């Protein structure tokens, strides 16, 4: 194997004028689904207690004014006390003047700037460039240089980068080009093994030959303790999944892998003992099991157990493969079993072009799809090159191998964006950033910049919310606005704000660049309420609400005389009557003046004009059995009822003309919301609204990301 030596070139930045500037085409990374290979890196060493986000914003604007974007593609990543700039060409001379100027303007915040020429030949070696400032800065830079030798030596063993064309194209397709992976390794090497990734498997790890995981095993980054439970199975599937996450031809070698057999309990005590909070699950029920147990096609005890574990463990991120039985016989086309967990992340697989080794922006034939019970989160490449214990290369495909791509991305972000994850539940934070930082084939017409957007393709059951791009996911995470749970009860508190959609819990005003594709995403936990079920007779809407408070009478002649409903259709919703009473309430609220108390009472009624999901594995009689006698008899006699048993939020984005941008249709009422649009350069208003009235607080994660494309690189 012909290894290249990774060397850092040492040059002192001088004051040399930059090339003549031309009009700026865009600051966001160019068409990021086709990221270039990056060769040149600049590391800006930040002092303690400096706001990294503010400094990065200053840097972006500074380079924007230097008109570099139109000449070279570059992008930013933040690490611990560092900001890294990656450029797609080794054009050091064009960057040195604006960076020298930036250093001079921000000396109080910066220790120095280092240059790393990525993957160049050995004869390029010189001393790293340093902007000296004081003794402390010099000490820090010397420490960086001491670490550098160890990092290079380990990187050569941990990640050969002599990967096959297939794997290289797969990683590049999701924004993980060689340069990005190298700089991530370099900047997380000192936290080696701090983040532990669980690989949940049925089969035993094949340890006859560690192959592409040999370095991981030598450095105690491969924990097979749980593998000793059962000597019965000895397959290669766990090796393959682990290779993609952290192998020498994989993505993130600085995490520790822990094999978790399928019997692992997801309770608080066990997870704390294992210290494993990112779990990849690339197996599921067989098609025969699904045929014999049809209840697994509905929300079931297994999916509920996963959901409850995620609710109880704020650090847990659980990632499933979608399944490979779409075109088998008997076919299982949709998500089933545990993969109906709404708090987990479910990943489908992309197909591959037949005439080359590049992933195709379409669902693989075998990959199972979303339905009206749960959605597919995203889709990533599913065909990879592996190595057998005999050291023979072979190709294999399946959603088993698309899920670890997302697991690796989650592990990278946990290493570099601890500040954002510390704000709340990791699951909803990562999910929101993941769907926001994805792009959907067919939704955008690039010619060569985005000229139109078809929101019908922003979510499909086949591809979920699209194909993630690491840079955009990281940008979305950087823009996280975490909304802490607050008292959801309606009150007359003058500090509370309401609109026609419910209680407003957050308003964000944000200006996006003209022509950029923008995604705004919202995620929250699916959680069963512990409160008694609030059941209402539609034809009693004008009498008493659930708390026996008098409500205002409507002026409608219909008097909420709804038609009787049908029996539940077992698709996750209960049908209701014609809703005329709800329409009357809208009219009353908007056409008449009310005092605060009266208005809030009307809003309370309006909140009941929504139908929420309920657990399908529970039959109707059992559900009704949980109610008191009065409510149960009333419901059974009238066959008209509401069951409100989960938290719900709404996401509303308005442009500068106060026009509502249509929300993406997710084909069901789930615990995510997404709005996607092409920005007009003006300010947008983003409203997050709590839409239920449960006696329970709830958190939500709001993220946004924007992308400008000025050329198609494929």
460 or 641: which carries more pLDDT confidence?
A: 460
pLDDT in tens, 290-326: 888 888 998 888 898 899 899 999 999 999 999 999 9
Local confidence band at 558 (pLDDT 50, 70, 90 cut-offs): very low
**CA nearest to 170, candidates 408, 388, 339:** 408
For 165-187, what is the mean pLDDT? Answer: 89
* Predicted local distance difference test score (pLDDT) of residue 285: 87
Q: Could you give the angle at which helices 470-478 and 426-436 cross, rounded to 10 degrees?
A: 120
Say how many C-beta atoms besides its own lie within 10 A of residue 518's C-beta: 21
* Predicted local distance difference test score (pLDDT) of residue 443: 76
Distances (CA, A) of 610 to 46, 258, 577, 699, 700: 50, 44, 12, 21, 20
Residue 703 has pLDDT above 50, yes or no: yes
Q: Report the C-alpha gap between 191 and 189 in whole angstroms.
A: 5
SS3 call for 692: coil
Residue 28 has pLDDT above 50, yes or no: no
Strand blocks (E) in 215-334: 222-223, 256-261, 278-281, 317-321
For 71-77, what is the mean pLDDT? Answer: 72
Q: Report the C-alpha gap between 571 and 371 in whole angstroms.
A: 10
Local confidence band at 251 (pLDDT 50, 70, 90 cut-offs): very high
Q: Report the C-alpha gap between 629 and 618 in whole angstroms.
A: 19
Distances (CA, A) of 456 to 370, 443, 667: 15, 7, 10
For 281-289, what is the mean pLDDT? Answer: 89
- Cβ pair 40, 525 in contact under 8 A: no
Cis before 69? omega within 30 = no
- Cβ pair 397, 386 in contact under 8 A: no
Q: Report the C-alpha gap between 247 and 242 in whole angstroms.
A: 7
Task: Locate CATH 3.40.50.200 in the chain.
Answer: 165-416
Report the share of the chain in percent with pLDDT over 70: 66
Task: Locate CATH 3.30.70.100 in the chain.
Answer: 32-135
Sign of torsion, CA 254 258 264 267?
negative
pLDDT in tens, 148-174: 777 877 887 887 656 678 898 999 999
* Predicted local distance difference test score (pLDDT) of residue 277: 87
706 or 668: which carries more pLDDT confidence?
A: 706
For 381-406, what is the mean pLDDT? Answer: 89
Query: Which of the four CATH numbers 3.30.420.10, 3.30.70.100, 3.30.70.260, 3.20.20.70 does domain 32-135 have?
Result: 3.30.70.100
* Predicted local distance difference test score (pLDDT) of residue 198: 94
As a whole number of Å, the end-to-end CA separation of the chain is 29
**CA nearest to 212, candidates 184, 245, 238, 249:** 249
Sign of torsion, CA 530 531 536 542?
negative
pLDDT in tens, 30-45: 333 334 466 678 888 8
For 484-502, what is the mean pLDDT? Answer: 58
| Range of lowest pLDDT (188-192, 241-245, 574-578) | 574-578
Report domain 165-416's class: alpha beta
Residue 389 has pLDDT above 80, yes or no: no
- Cβ pair 15, 97 in contact under 8 A: yes
What SS3 string covers 485-523? CCCCCCCCCCCCEEECCEEEEEEEEEECCCCCEEEEEEE
Residue 250 has pLDDT above 60, yes or no: yes
Q: Report the C-alpha gap between 475 and 568 in whole angstroms.
A: 43
For 2-7, what is the mean pLDDT? Answer: 29
* Predicted local distance difference test score (pLDDT) of residue 579: 37
Q: What are phi and psi of 386, to 5 degrees?
A: -125, 175
For 1-23, what is the mean pLDDT? Answer: 27
* Most confident residue range from 134-148, 264-278, 368-382: 368-382
Residue 382 has pLDDT above 70, yes or no: yes
| Range of lowest pLDDT (245-254, 383-392, 567-576) | 567-576
* Predicted local distance difference test score (pLDDT) of residue 343: 96
Distances (CA, A) of 277 to 246, 519, 526, 645: 16, 27, 18, 27
Q: Which residues, 6 or more positions from 596, have their beta carbon under 8 angstroms from its beta carbon?
A: 492, 494
Q: Report the C-alpha gap between 433 and 702 in whole angstroms.
A: 8
């Amino acid at each position: 194997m012909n290894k290249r030596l990774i060397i850092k070139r040492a040059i002192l930045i001088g004051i040399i004028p930059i090339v003549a500037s031309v009009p700026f085409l865009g600051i966001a990374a160019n068409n990021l689904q086709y990221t270039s290979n990056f060769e040149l890196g600049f590391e800006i060493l930040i002092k303690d207690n400096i706001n990294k986000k503010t400094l990065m914003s200053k840097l972006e604007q500074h380079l924007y004014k230097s008109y570099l974007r139109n000449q070279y593609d570059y992008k930013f990543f933040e690490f611990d006390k560092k900001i890294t700039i990656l450029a797609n060409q080794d054009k050091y001379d064009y960057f040195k003047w604006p960076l020298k100027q930036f250093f001079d303007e921000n000396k109080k915040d910066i220790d120095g700037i280092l240059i790393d020429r990525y993957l160049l030949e050995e004869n390029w070696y010189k001393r790293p460039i340093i902007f000296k400032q004081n003794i402390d800065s010099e000490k820090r830079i010397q420490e960086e240089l001491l670490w550098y030798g160890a990092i290079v030596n380990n990187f050569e063993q941990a990640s050969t980068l002599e990967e096959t064309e297939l794997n290289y194209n797969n990683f590049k397709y999701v924004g993980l080009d060689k340069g990005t992976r190298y700089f991530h390794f370099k900047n997380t090497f000192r936290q080696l093994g701090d983040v532990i990734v669980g690989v949940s498997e049925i089969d035993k790890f094949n340890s006859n030959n560690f192959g592409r995981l040999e370095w991981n095993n030598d450095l105690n980054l491969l924990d097979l303790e749980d593998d000793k439970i059962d000597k019965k199975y000895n397959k290669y599937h766990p090796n393959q999944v682990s290779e993609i996450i952290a192998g020498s031809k994989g993505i993130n070698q600085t995490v520790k892998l822990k094999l978790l057999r399928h019997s692992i309990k997801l309770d608080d005590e066990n997870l704390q003992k294992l210290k494993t909070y990112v779990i990849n699950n690339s197996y599921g029920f067989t098609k025969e099991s699904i045929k014999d147990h049809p209840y697994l096609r509905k929300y079931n005890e297994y999916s509920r157990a996963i959901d409850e574990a995620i609710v109880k463990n704020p650090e847990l991120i659980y990632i499933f493969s979608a399944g490979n039985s779409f075109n088998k016989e008997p076919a299982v086309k949709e998500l089933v079993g545990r993969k109906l967990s709404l708090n987990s992340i479910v990943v489908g697989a992309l197909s591959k072009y037949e005439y080359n080794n590049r992933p195709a922006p379409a669902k693989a034939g075998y990959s199972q799809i979303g339905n009206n019970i749960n959605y597919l989160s995203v889709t990533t490449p599913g065909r990879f090159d592996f190595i057998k214990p005999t050291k023979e290369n072979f190709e294999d495909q399946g959603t088993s191998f698309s899920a670890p791509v997302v697991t690796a991305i989650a592990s990278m972000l946990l290493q570099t964006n601890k500040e954002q994850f510390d704000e709340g539940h990791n699951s909803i934070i990562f999910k929101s950033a993941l769907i926001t930082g994805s792009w959907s084939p067919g939704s955008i017409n690039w010619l060569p910049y985005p000229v139109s957007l078809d929101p019908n393709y922003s979510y499909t059951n086949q591809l979920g919310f699209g194909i993630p791009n690491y840079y955009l996911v990281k940008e979305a995470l950087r823009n996280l606005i975490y909304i802490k749970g607050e008292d959801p009860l309606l009150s007359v508190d003058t500090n509370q704000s309401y609109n026609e959609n419910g209680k407003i819990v957050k308003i964000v005003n944000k200006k996006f660049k003209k022509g950029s594709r923008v995604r705004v995403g919202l995620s929250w936990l699916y959680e069963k309420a512990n409160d008694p079920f609030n059941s209402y007779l539609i034809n009693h809407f004008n009498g008493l609400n659930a708390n026996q408070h008098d409500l205002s009478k409507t002026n409608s002649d219909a008097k909420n005389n709804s038609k009787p409903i049908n029996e539940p259709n077992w698709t996750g919703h209960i049908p209701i009557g014609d809703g005329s009473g709800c329409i009357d309430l809208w009219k009353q609220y908007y056409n008449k003046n009310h005092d605060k108390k009266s208005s809030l009472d009307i809003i309370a009624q309006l909140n009941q004009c929504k139908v929420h999901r309920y657990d399908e594995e529970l039959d109707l009689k059992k559900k009704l059995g949980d109610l008191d006698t009065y409510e149960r008899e009333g419901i059974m006699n009238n066959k008209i009822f509401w069951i409100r048993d989960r938290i719900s939020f709404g996401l509303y984005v308005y442009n500068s003309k106060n026009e509502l941008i249509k929300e993406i249709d997710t084909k069901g009422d789930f615990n995510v919301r997404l709005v996607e649009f092409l920005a007009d350069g003006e300010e947008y208003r983003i409203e997050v609204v709590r839409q239920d009235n449960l006696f329970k607080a709830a958190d939500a994660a709001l993220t946004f990301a924007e992308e400008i494309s000025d050329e198609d690189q494929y």
